[in-house]
Structure 1
Amino acid sequence: MDHSVSNYEALLLLLLLPLLLLLSIKHVNSKKKAELPLPPGPKPWPILGNIPHMTRKVHITMSQFAKSYGPLISVKLGAQLIVVASSPAAAAEILKTHDRVLSARYESKSSPFKISDVNRMAIVWATTCNDSWKSLRALCRTELFSGRAIESQAAVRERKVCEMVEFLAAREGKVVDIGEIVFTTVFNSLCNLFFSDDLLVLEDRKGKASGLKSHIWKMMELGATPSIADFYPVLAPLDPQGLKKKMAKVVSQMFSVWDSYIKERREIHESKFHVDAPKGDFLDVFLSNGFDDQKINWLFFELLTAGTETTTTTVEWAMTELLKSEESMTKVREELRREIGGNPINEANVFQLTFLNACIKETFRLHPPVPFLIPHCALETCEVLNYRIPKNAQVLVNIWAIGRDPSVWEDPLSFRPERFVNSGSAVVDFKGHDFELLPFGSGRRVCPGLPMAAKQLPLILASLIKGFDWALPGGEDPAKLDMDEKFGLTLQKDQPLLLVARKQSM
């Protein structure tokens, strides 16, 4: 009997050995991570941390810190720890190597929305990649951003761009705001996919487009405002800066723009006498999937703000740089004459415009639509570049700094589209695989609208340049164009680009 007990214990030990070994390794790794230092950074003050070191243009401040402390830094803002990556290698570690562990979103204490609601409704701002997030991403990918869907939508985008060109031709010789016109064009393109209707007009006499654009920018600005409630969570219930109230007001104003479409369509869907065929747009898709009004409003809010603001900002910066660089503008025009000639521009033929697409890449490099990728958060403690990233730390990728890093790019402050044509950088793309150029992010949190933006940007830019000669009002010198940025979640021109168009015969 003693012999059988001994055999049983030996067998049990043999079965438990792998588990004990695994637990031992996990304990050693956990201890090792705990012993690793935090990424370096400026010495924090008592209580305040590094708040006194911050400036209004945080992306520039963080870039300067990276020059002093390295490609991965940490700063303390009050009680909040923020880790910032400012090199392709550091970005790859965060967005690829540790993609799962660092895929959460930071839960801001200034958000007016319940986290449970956001995680049920959101794609961009869901704090975890939960089942709801996965199903929403899959739905959007299939119905809106798949190759088949993008191809089927081409006629809508091309029609809206033709309307933009016709509007500009009718305004020949008059001052136009390029940002507002592109914003309206992109917004209406999306609205036709979502609601089968335009929500704005190019002849914006009532200021609806400029008002909506200002609402979106206000939201971007509020989202990037340093939050005292995040620095000192104990103050969150007091909403010391009024950010919760301001955000809730702006979001409500934006919901009101399209809310009537949702209510009207829902009544039709729920009517017993419903005989009309569905429009087949994205609103019908949402209603058919049983989404409530709150969820539909939120999804349109995310998709419309992200889809319009980034594209508008990129076109405005691209036009600004091309006006300042006469040589580059001439090359674009020559390419359009050679490759397109008298044919209409469409999404199928703009991809043969090598130099124009290089100009878009160069704009992304110098003027990324967002200075930082939307903040990530560590689900658990991990090791990045031999440093410890603690659980719940906020993690940023400074793509503005990467795009201007002289160790990555030759002559980084100059607008040189040729670098994406005639050099090793010609193979660099912006679709999330090359960590030198990440305007849309990478990994599981990559922007779902990337395929649509990749089609729309060259179509709009080529149409603006092929159809018109552009000049500044009063014949001002383009070399003196204001290049200051306005910091928010996106990186707009501080001063809008006001131009005068003259029709061009090509």
Structure 2
Amino acid sequence: MVSTNSIALLFVVLTLFLIHIKKIKSRSIHKNGKSEPRLPPGPAPWPIIGCVPQMLREKSTFRWIHRLMKEMDTDIACIRLGNVHVIPVTCPEIAQEFLKKHDATFSSRPTSMATRIYSRGYLTAGITPYGNQSKKMRRVLVSEIISPARHHWLKDKRTGEADNLVKYIYNRSKSSSGTVNVRTVTRQYTGNVIRKLVFGKRCIGVERADGGPTIAEEEHVEAIFTIIKYLYAFCISDYFPWLVGLDLDGHEKFVNEAVRTVNNYHDPIIDSRIKKWRSFGNSNEESTIDEPHDLLDVLITLKDSEGKALLTPEEIKAQITEIMFASVDNPANAVEWVLAEMINQPEILKTAMEELDRVVGKERLVRECDIPHLNYIKACIREAFRLHPIAPFVPTHMAMSDAIVSGYFIPKGSHVLLSRLGLGRNPKVWNKPLEFRPERHFTSGSTEVQLIEPDLHFISFSTGRRGCVALMLGTTMTVMLLARMVQGFYWKALPDVTSINLDESFEDMFLANPLVACVEPRLPLHLYP
């Protein structure tokens, strides 16, 4: 594989051969004798290739971007990659300008190698550029998939997976080691829930008696998290489309392998179900299907104004994959970080257990109806969203026209990156921002802690036309995951570990090492499934 330094050198030599001019700097534009707004501050770009050589020298692009902004002491910057102006933002007020005041202008998504493959040619709601297709699929999600009525309809399926979560951890606690890989538990729980909601079944393969994941389920979830990793990963070909196919940075290989794995599991189920529903109603065919039983059934049975199928098989397959990777990441990551922080700060764990004992008691397992009253549990989750976000940036917004934001000129086609990392750890907003302190989320006059953050002091579910539509499902999955784990078990570090290492992975925002902890039951034995 070609090294990043070789690629950088190639770009530099090619540029110098084609154009021999000085580096371009952002200058004031004068029009009719008046000074026009400038681009946000940023490093001086090379002609044609912009700052790609600097990006390639860095092993972690998002850390390089944040380091640049810190060095320039700015809350908004402009980094040109190829001909694309990349605009990172770490200030809540500026972020609100983008997502509220100028929401219509920045409601599109850029095209990229990964999003094209993931969406099967832009057939989905979330990562498809703004237009008729994205609006059509978003209407489907809002009205048919994540509506309050549909959420209630799927309650028993979610509860079944919360019970299985407790069963699996309990069985692990009774094993010879008594240890649990928390990352495996949290990711498999979210994978189990969304598979159950979409396909009507958790298990891929033969279900394990202890409630743990099969090899196929582990492979499925791993592929989904690979999809998330490369969703907006600063791939070279996204800025130089003529490089697609050369795979200079290796992204295409991982993207294609992950999608192939997911499709191998999804497509046979979807094709078989479509065939059954399409034959339903034929007088010469018998079918046991009489009404939808899961979200796949719902998508298949949607009709247009003429009574024909609203969605094509390709649209269904693409949207199912997007539902999967949009659902598993935040809950799994947040809860792993919360438990790591709790083990290092036992008083936080104690306070959370006391709240559960007070609100729920020890004679039943926590239920979804308890969520409004579990304010400390939700404060812990909010703090994880703030301090330990799943990704450094929200999914990229793209400018559909020129705009003036916070006094700066944002050209059409710019990629706007609202920084989860920069907003949540902004010292101008948060006191001691690098400390995990759930109490900071209790505000005077508020009776219930919510996971959403409308002022964008951190980002949980985002906002605006391209914000997450599944707030209710995301909240339920995250709170139930943490609440069941804290209510049902005592957690502590391994015997030879004095404290959990809270270092982040250099390449992403996960714990550098998966959390492994000792676990003991804390409820009457009859409550464990």
Q: Which moved more, 1:344-353 or 1:39-48?
A: 39-48
- The residue that corresponds to 1:298 in the other structure is 318
Structure 1, residues 343-395: CA drift from partner, whole Å, max 9, x if none?
A: 32101113211211111111110011221010111101000011110011111
Alignment of 1:99 with 2:88, yes or no, is: no
Alignment-mate amino acid for residue 243 of structure 1: H
Query: Of 71, 81, 87, which residue of structure 1 is paired with 2:85?
Result: 81
Query: Of 425, 436, 440, which residue of structure 2 is paired with 1:404?
Result: 425
Alignment-mate amino acid for residue 318 of structure 2: W
Matched residues in 1 for 2:413 and 2:186: separation?
39
Shift in Å, 1:319:
1.2
Alignment of 1:212 with 2:230, yes or no, is: no
Matched residues in 1 for 2:478 and 2:48: separation?
46
Matched residues, number: 473
Query: Of 368, 389, 396, which residue of structure 1 is paired with 2:410?
Result: 389
Alignment-mate amino acid for residue 338 of structure 1: R
Specify the structure having the higher radius of gyration (Cα).
1
Q: Which moved more, 1:200-209 or 1:402-411?
A: 200-209
- The residue that corresponds to 1:267 in the other structure is 275
Alignment-mate amino acid for residue 410 of structure 2: I
- The residue that corresponds to 1:346 in the other structure is 367
Cα distance change of structure 1 residues 195 and 175 upon mapping to structure 2, 3 Å threshold: same
Matched residues in 1 for 2:439 and 2:451: separation?
16
Alignment of 1:37 with 2:38, yes or no, is: yes
Matched residues in 2 for 1:495 and 1:32: separation?
58
**Superposed counterparts of 1:266-285, under 5 Å:** 266-271=274-279, 272=282, 273-276=285-288, 277-285=290-298
Asked if the contact 1:430–1:437 (Cα under 8 Å) also holds between the matched residues in 2, the reply is no
Matched residues in 1 for 2:417 and 2:449: separation?
22
- The residue that corresponds to 1:356 in the other structure is 377
Alignment-mate amino acid for residue 74 of structure 2: G
Alignment-mate amino acid for residue 126 of structure 2: V
Alignment of 1:416 with 2:437, yes or no, is: yes
Shift in Å, 1:492:
2.4
Shift in Å, 1:260:
1.8
Could you say what secondary structure the match of 1:407 adopts? coil
The RMSD of aligned alpha carbons is 2.8
Asked if the contact 1:322–1:329 (Cα under 8 Å) also holds between the matched residues in 2, the reply is yes
Structure 1, residues 399-451: CA drift from partner, whole Å, max 9, x if none?
A: 11111111100110000001112569998854352211212111011112221
Structure 1, residues 124-165: CA drift from partner, whole Å, max 9, x if none?
A: 11111x233223222212222122222232222122111110
Alignment of 1:64 with 2:67, yes or no, is: yes
Matched residues in 2 for 1:285 and 1:437: separation?
34
Asked if the contact 2:395–2:417 (Cα under 8 Å) also holds between the matched residues in 1, the reply is yes
Alignment of 1:457 with 2:478, yes or no, is: yes
Could you say what secondary structure the match of 1:82 adopts? strand
Could you say what secondary structure the match of 1:474 adopts? coil
**Superposed counterparts of 1:97-496, under 5 Å:** 97-109=101-113, 113=117, 118-119=121-122, 121-128=123-130, 130-173=131-174, 174-200=178-204, 203-204=211-212, 206-236=214-244, 238-271=246-279, 272=282, 273-276=285-288, 277-289=290-302, 290=309, 291-342=311-362, 343-421=364-442, 429-431=450-452, 433-478=454-499, 480-485=500-505, 487-488=507-508, 491-496=509-514
**TM-score, normalised to structure 1's length?**
0.86
Shift in Å, 1:460:
1.2
Asked if the contact 1:59–1:401 (Cα under 8 Å) also holds between the matched residues in 2, the reply is no
Structure 1, residues 223-269: CA drift from partner, whole Å, max 9, x if none?
A: 34332223334434644345345423321210111222212212212
Q: Which moved more, 1:468-477 or 1:309-318?
A: 468-477
Matched residues in 2 for 1:380 and 1:299: separation?
28
Matched residues in 1 for 2:343 and 2:34: separation?
51
Structure 1, residues 32-67: CA drift from partner, whole Å, max 9, x if none?
A: 999321000123345553335443333333333333
Shift in Å, 1:330:
1.1
- The residue that corresponds to 1:3 in the other structure is none
User: Percent identity between the aligned chains?
Assistant: 26
- The residue that corresponds to 2:306 in the other structure is none
**Unmatched runs of 5 consecutive residues or more in structure 1:** 1-28
Alignment-mate amino acid for residue 317 of structure 1: W
Cα distance change of structure 1 residues 504 and 85 upon mapping to structure 2, 3 Å threshold: same
**Unmatched runs of 5 consecutive residues or more in structure 2:** 1-29, 303-308, 525-529
Cα distance change of structure 1 residues 496 and 229 upon mapping to structure 2, 3 Å threshold: same
Could you say what secondary structure the match of 2:85 adopts? strand
Alignment-mate amino acid for residue 62 of structure 1: I
Alignment-mate amino acid for residue 417 of structure 1: P
Structure 1, residues 155-185: CA drift from partner, whole Å, max 9, x if none?
A: 2212211111012112215222222222222
Asked if the contact 2:224–2:324 (Cα under 8 Å) also holds between the matched residues in 1, the reply is no
Alignment-mate amino acid for residue 65 of structure 1: L
Alignment-mate amino acid for residue 285 of structure 1: V
Cα distance change of structure 1 residues 171 and 296 upon mapping to structure 2, 3 Å threshold: same
- The residue that corresponds to 1:499 in the other structure is 517
Asked if the contact 2:399–2:412 (Cα under 8 Å) also holds between the matched residues in 1, the reply is yes
Q: Which moved more, 1:200-209 or 1:331-340?
A: 200-209
The structure where helix makes up a greater share of residues is 1
- The residue that corresponds to 1:23 in the other structure is none
Shift in Å, 1:195:
1.6
Cα distance change of structure 1 residues 31 and 212 upon mapping to structure 2, 3 Å threshold: farther
- The residue that corresponds to 1:12 in the other structure is none
Shift in Å, 1:216:
1.8
- The residue that corresponds to 1:7 in the other structure is none
Structure 1, residues 269-309: CA drift from partner, whole Å, max 9, x if none?
A: 22231332234321112211322322211111100111012
Q: Which moved more, 1:166-175 or 1:420-429?
A: 420-429
Matched residues in 1 for 2:33 and 2:398: separation?
21
